[in-house]
Structures are given as C-alpha cells and as structure tokens.
A = this chain, B = another copy of it.
Amino acid sequence: MLKYRDPLSLAFQALADPTRRDLVDRLLRGPASVSQLAEPVDMTMSAVVQHLAVLEGAGLVRSQKIGRVRTFQVDPDGLRRTEDWFRPRRTPTESRLDRLGEHLARSEPPQENP
C-alpha cells in the first residue's frame, strides 16, 4: 500500500495509540531512558522500543545513545507542526479569537502575572 508516509499521517498515526501518547506525556516531564520508559508500562521492553521507534519516525521525539543508554526527549517542533494542521481548519467563530491571539502574540511580549 505504501501510502501513509507523509509526515502528518505518520504523526497522527503515532498519536492514535494510547500507549504512545502516555510515552509522550512521560517525556514531557523530562528526558528518559528506554528502561525508565518501559518500567511503568505493562508490556515487554521490546514492544516499548517499537512504540518509541514509531514516535521517533513521526518526528515527535528524538533520542541519542550514550554508552549503552539511549535517552529520549520530546521534539516540540514535531508536536507543534502536528497541532498546526488544526489552526486553519477551525470554524470562522473560533478563527476570529484565534487571529486575535496571533496578532497579540506578534505585537507584544506577554507579562507573567503583573
């Protein structure tokens, strides 16, 4: 079939599995090794590694290996690019608020609880 190889399809596909979304959530709290990621999950490390490969293939996480430990972390750009699919597809009512938000974001840096 060889048809779902575009980045958006890969990302949505990756997020369609609750185990993988849990892994993303874990990684949002900070980088973690394969063992650390596998520990709370009720399946073999092998399966977790396969899930991580899907997430990495979708550009949602990245990893690097130091010694025998591979450490994963979220790729914020991957998440943002996926979320960006929705923005131009909001209904007009939602879009008006949205355009305001973008306008303000462009014009003034925000204040943290002034």
Which one of B89, B97, B110 lies within 8 Å of A110 (CB-CB)? B97
Number of interface residues of A (CB under 8 A): 38
A93 and chain B: residue at smallest CB distance: B76
Which one of B24, B85, B99 lies within 8 Å of A89 (CB-CB)? B24
Q: Is the CB–CB distance between B18 and A15 below 8 Å?
A: no
A3 and chain B: residue at smallest CB distance: B18
Which one of B15, B96, B110 lies within 8 Å of A12 (CB-CB)? B15
Q: How far is the CB of A70 from chain B (nearest CB, A)?
A: 22
Instruction: Say whether A39 faces chain B, with CB atoms less than 8 Å apart.
Output: no
Q: Is the CB–CB distance between B105 and A97 below 8 Å?
A: yes
| Cβ contacts under 8 Å, A100 to chain B | 101, 104-105, 110
